[in-house]
Chains A and B, each alone.
Chain A
Amino acid sequence: MSVTQEAVTASNNLIAEVEKLESRRRTSNVMVIFTTASFLSIFYSLNFLPATEHWEAGPDLTFWTILVFGFIAVILGVWRAGIVKRYKSIFMPIVLNELVGDYNYEPKNYLDVALFNEAGLFSSPDRYNGSDLVSVVIGKTDMVFSFVHAERETTSTDSNGKTSTSHSTIFLGLLLISEFNKRTENKTEIWPVPFDEAKGTPLKMDSVAFNKQFSVYTSDRTEAFYLLTPGYMERLLRVRQKLGKIYISIHDSKLYMAVDLDSNLGISLWRSLTDASQIMKLKYNLKMILDIPNDLNLNTRIWGIRD
């Protein structure tokens, strides 16, 4: 086969694959609407219609209804997440190729839990998984990121002595690690305001706007001021405006950033997957992530960290 024929075949295969996904998407949407409507009707009938001579709903029936529909909802959720995953695995390489050219993408892989713990931003998880591992070099800066879901396990015992285990989310979003362009000997954390954890007294920086959006915690004041120059604080404010809540830790001359970002990267199953706007949304969100080294001026190497 010639190169052109190969390209045409690949293109046709791609179209066929997307159309298959689109068909599954439509079916899943119908299932969601049907399941939701059924659940609401049954729930209403069980709890709000008056009892008759021959039939009366009890709390058990409501419980089983919720349980069954809950199970169906989980199945549907997993199925729909699979559609998004497959769509991403097809188009992320194409978009990454256009944006950066040279990259490594592993859709099922993710940053190791050791790296999550190394960031030192959140507590060590009991359950951890993720997706979409990307390694790339932007200018002079090595960067790696993936979506991660870190959870803690909590065990509780009821009055009958029965123990139950549940999981709560520590962090769900994008974790990014890149080289930093200044040498560091201590650790500085930058947290978005407001946040839930109790972290002690923050260091007040010399920018009112920055102090309103971020809280800084450090083991060395002078190093924190060295890292957070007035210009750098402005950059962080712009990145926050662009990406939303960001959590940053800088140590060992590396920058660790956690971003509250949806792993769907803008892909919606309520719009056609053949719609060009889906790819544009994906490209837009990926570009926001890939722009981080330039947005934070990490490619300027004049402070003792070589290329």
Chain B
Amino acid sequence: MNITLTSGLVIGAALLLIIAVVVMYNSLIGRKNDVENASSSIDAMLKRRFDLIPNLVDAVTHFMAHETGLMNQLTELRTTSYESMTQTERVQLDQNIRSALGNVMAVAENYPELKSSENMIHLQETLNEVEGQIAAARRSFNAAITEYNNGIEMFPLNIVAAAMGLRQQEWFEIENHQREVVSVKGLFK
């Protein structure tokens, strides 16, 4: 009788342990997938912004054709193919696009006709929307990373995480030079 009770308790405890491990495993997989999903959201939004470049070039060419430096910068961006890029190239492209857009908006201040054109207004609204969505995708990514890192560092999930070979992931952070106050002095010749 005692042996049966003891065996029953041992089996029960073993079953509970297995269920706990399965639950923790699924939880970690869920968090890992959330991170990957959030990462692809950022990519999708960046691609959407990239696809707006031709519209931007068409909108400003008529008014700013003689701003050769700026037009060359935009035209170069147009010739690249987003899908064929590596992750490093995409990060560089993101910086280039941000720089180009900033320059266009600053220089557009000198062209009231361009600023008030229906095309430009619509484009600006769309760009605002896309920039907002990119920022949101990055915040969502950081939130997913926080949940993921919490999972692999906190007890008892960290035990299962170590067995699965999961490692801490990096949050999205801006470069140091981007934390500085933006100066637009050099844009006006």
A→B interface (CB under 8 Å): 182-183, 203-206, 221-227, 229, 301-304, 306
Interface: B96 (CB within 8 A):
no
A225:B129 contact, CB within 8 angstroms: no
B129:A182 contact, CB within 8 angstroms: yes
- A204 and B140 contact, Cβ closer than 8 Å, known pairs A222-B38, A222-B41, A304-B126: no
Contacts of B128 in A (CB 8 A): 302-304
Closest chain-B Cβ to A13's Cβ sits at a distance in Å of 51
Contact of B143 among A182, A225, A304 (CB under 8 A): A225
Contact of B136 among A183, A223, A306 (CB under 8 A): A223
Contact of A304 among B34, B45, B129 (CB under 8 A): B129
> Can you list 12 A-B contacts (CB < 8 A)?
A182-B132, A183-B129, A204-B146, A204-B147, A206-B142, A221-B144, A222-B38, A222-B133, A224-B140, A225-B137, A225-B143, A304-B129
Closest to A306 in B: B125
Give A205 to B132 CA distance when docked, in angstroms: 16
A-B contact count (CB 8 A): 55
Contacts of A205 in B (CB 8 A): 143
Shortest 8 CB-CB contacts between residues of A and residues of B: A226-B136, A225-B136, A304-B129, A225-B140, A222-B41, A303-B129, A225-B139, A304-B125
Contacts of A183 in B (CB 8 A): 129
A206:B133 contact, CB within 8 angstroms: no
Interface centre among A222, A226, A303, A304 (most CB of B within 10 A): A222
Q: Residues 23-51 of chain B: 1 if any A CB is under 8 Å from the residue's CB, otherwise 0? A: 00000000000100110010001000000
Closest chain-A Cβ to B160's Cβ sits at a distance in Å of 20
Contacts of B135 in A (CB 8 A): 225-226, 229
Give A304 to B128 CA distance when docked, in angstroms: 8
Closest to B34 in A: A221
Contacts of A227 in B (CB 8 A): 136
Interface residues on B, range: 20 to 34
A302:B41 contact, CB within 8 angstroms: no
Query: Chain A binding site: helix, strand, loop or mixed by DSSP?
Result: loop
A204:B129 contact, CB within 8 angstroms: no
A226:B132 contact, CB within 8 angstroms: yes
Closest chain-B Cβ to A150's Cβ sits at a distance in Å of 33
Closest to B131 in A: A303
Closest to A204 in B: B143
Contacts of B147 in A (CB 8 A): 204
Supply 18 further A-B pairs (C-beta < 8 A) apart from A226-B135, A304-B125.
A204-B146, A206-B142, A221-B34, A221-B38, A221-B140, A222-B41, A222-B45, A222-B136, A222-B140, A224-B136, A225-B135, A225-B143, A227-B136, A302-B124, A303-B125, A303-B129, A303-B132, A304-B129
Interface centre among B125, B139, B144 (most CB of A within 10 A): B139
Contacts of B133 in A (CB 8 A): 222, 226
Closest to A228 in B: B136
Contacts of A182 in B (CB 8 A): 129, 132
Contacts of A306 in B (CB 8 A): 125
Contacts of A224 in B (CB 8 A): 136, 140
Give A229 to B142 CA distance when docked, in angstroms: 14
B139:A206 contact, CB within 8 angstroms: yes
Give A225 to B45 CA distance when docked, in angstroms: 13
Closest to B133 in A: A226
Contacts of B137 in A (CB 8 A): 222, 225
Closest to A227 in B: B136
Cβ < 8 Å to A, chain B residues 107-151: 124-126, 128-129, 132-133, 135-137, 139-140, 142-144, 146-147
Contacts of A303 in B (CB 8 A): 125, 128-129, 132
